[in-house]
Structure 1
């Protein structure tokens, strides 16, 4: 009998976050699960890795014992690295990251610890998916997303992913409405208009809070932002080769070797 697929689960909100609990429960219906996740929130860490301090791993007691779990003192990317190289006894068939409390659509993918864990797995040649729900609340309702997550994961396990590609999946926060379905999309052209809220400590020293407004410049009907606004789950294939291939021809016309 063929072994069940081995699924590594991680996130950036920390190992105690409700989102990762939901993802674990769905993955247990599809394969053998090992969890390696940060021991504290690591949102917005991007693809940071730990180079100048030690990493610590702690095995977590799982009440019913139907999966293995470890907390890691490092970043989401660290979690994938240490899981693949030190914890697992074989390479995982899939890495899933999330479910993130908050959006990772459009430009947010650049800053996302959730997606960086998935991208790290992709760099290792492992199919990977990052899942996010557009609700920052710790008490967010992940239940409506479960059947859709299962469908996406089953397809990836069956079909695989193109080398160098991972999936960025975002789920709309519809509250009383039903999710309409799943749309394969491109990343919308959007960014944050940032503002720093300047304040003073009681001792008179300046400090700052980063705030901002998300601005979507993209009116296309094939983007993740459009799909989410219309009540669909967006699935964006993401590549970690950042080469702007379309610009190579122009740059090769420059006189760079005078």
Structure 2
């Protein structure tokens, strides 16, 4: 593990979480770096959309890695890349893809435990094998557990948390460094997850999610903003453009 990866890992402190305001290109990386970020994280949704693709590994890996290299060229901060399900049909292919991100200079990756095409969860042993291949790169592997995404909100309960924790144990044994659980909403469930998880917990902020201070108090170690920054930037751009187009007709 090199010093930059170790430094990135040391930023994952339960109760004093690493805040990641996800970016999509070199320009947004530079803006977030200058805003005082401690690390830079891409979001696959924003990256794909900014290059004219849809989320779900439709963006070719060569384009994703070229984008990573441009981001790395404008910041000295640790950069972690969202690699969706690992860009590989099997563990060996995942390992090869992640090794390319490591060679480019990334310190970490996100990897999901569901198939980007079928949107179904991989069986736990299969997901763990993919994580093990990714972890062989030496990067910080943020293992994303998507059980809450695939479970209707009204069915979110302690049993779903416990099912995620069982997956997390397998992912930790496979070499994952942290656990990303998006779309978990209730403070009591987040607290239970942080208490039981064998890995530092990463939560995605958004509507109906407790605020950052509350998440910190629950023991969260990493907080991501996902596609929110991209969506806000595009909303602001659209509103400004509409105002500019309408200005000729004013008065």
Q: Which of these two proteins has the greater Rg computed from alpha carbons?
A: 1
**Relative contact order (C-alpha < 8 Å, sep 6+): which is higher?**
2
Greater fraction of residues in helix: 2
Structure 1 length-normalised TM: 0.31
Relative to total residues, which structure has the larger strand share, 1 or 2? 1
